[in-house]
Amino acid sequence: MNCRIEKIRENEKKSHTKIYSDEELYNTDSWLKKPIKTITEIAPLFSDKNHLRVLDLGCGVGRNSIYIAEQFEHIHCSIDCVDILEIAIDKLKNNARIYGVEDIIKGTIGTIEHFTIPKNAYDFIICVSALEHVENKEAFLSKLQDIRDGIKLNGIVCLVINSEVKELNLDTMEKLEPQFEVNLPTKAIQSYINDIFVGWHIMKNTVSFQEYDIPRDSLISHLSTNVITYVGQKV
Ligand SMILES: C[S@@+](CC[C@H](N)C(=O)[O-])C[C@H]1O[C@@H](n2cnc3c(N)ncnc32)[C@H](O)[C@@H]1O
């Protein structure tokens, strides 16, 4: 792993460790307040299922997975959750206990790029604000293909990916190195997704410009990003 990636991962570890230690899932004003809207919109589409197998790549403390588990606790549901941070998986397991879904949630500490996705295995694969944190563009493209191959017929993929991220020192407006391992142009990611998921039913394909201030070491970074949301169904 090169120096740039090591540095980004160190910074990301610091900032995620802080938020995962300080904030309580669903009981906070931070982004851990609730699952993302797209997940709450997709979940009802599985309501006729007796079995549901889900994969959450870069799951964090379970913002989306705990919600899905609660919706499907009455059927045979299992959710494989992967995150690089031990604290994320510890908190995920604790949250699963708090919400009574510990039999559904299976947490693994590891990287997205090294997690082997079995073929034709999942009804639903989600990766929210995490795929851009794999080591490089090759791993990014290869994992998109693995995600595609891991989905069963009629299964659904939900990807939320930051693109064209820019960071500025809020005080001085000087450019900072964006803390994202893979920071690709929006159009390039959309084109890769179109090619890799060719023939799939596109349920959502949007780009939303977002900007916010985040602490980075001793300064505040003003971050802007085009957030790509892709939801596709294998038909
Ligand atoms: C912005 S958070 C999003 C968490 C979760 N998907 C959510 O929506 O609440 C990104 C998560 O991805 C994890 N992560 C970053 N790089 C990763 C990698 N290469 N492999 C696995 N997890 C990673 C981080 O530890 C963090 O928990």
Digit-coded pLDDT (tens) for 153-177: 999 999 999 999 999 999 999 999 9
- C-alpha–C-alpha distance, residues 185 and 57, integer Å: 22
* Cα atoms in the Cβ-side hemisphere of radius 13 Å centred on 77: 25
* Residue 128 CB–ligand 1 contact under 6 Å: yes
Instruction: Determine the distance separating the centroid of ligand 1 and the alpha carbon of 25, expressed in angstroms.
Output: 15
Instruction: Determine the distance separating the centroid of ligand 1 and the alpha carbon of 112, expressed in angstroms.
Output: 9
Q: With cut-offs at 50, 70 and 90, classify the pLDDT of residue 140.
A: very high
Tell me, yes or no, if the pTM score tops 0.95. Answer: yes
- The protein residue whose alpha carbon is closest to atom 11 in ligand 1 is 58
Residue with tokens 């299992």: 78
Which residues partner with 227 through β-bridges? 162, 208
Instruction: Give, for ligand 1, the residue of 7, 12, 127 to mutate: max count of ligand atoms closer than 8 Å to Cβ.
Output: 12
Q: Is 135 left (phi over 0), alpha (psi -120 to 50) or beta?
A: alpha
* Residue 62 CB–ligand 1 contact under 6 Å: no
Per-residue model confidence as pLDDT tens digits over 173-192:
999 999 999 999 999 999 99
Instruction: Determine the distance separating the centroid of ligand 1 and the alpha carbon of 18, expressed in angstroms.
Output: 14
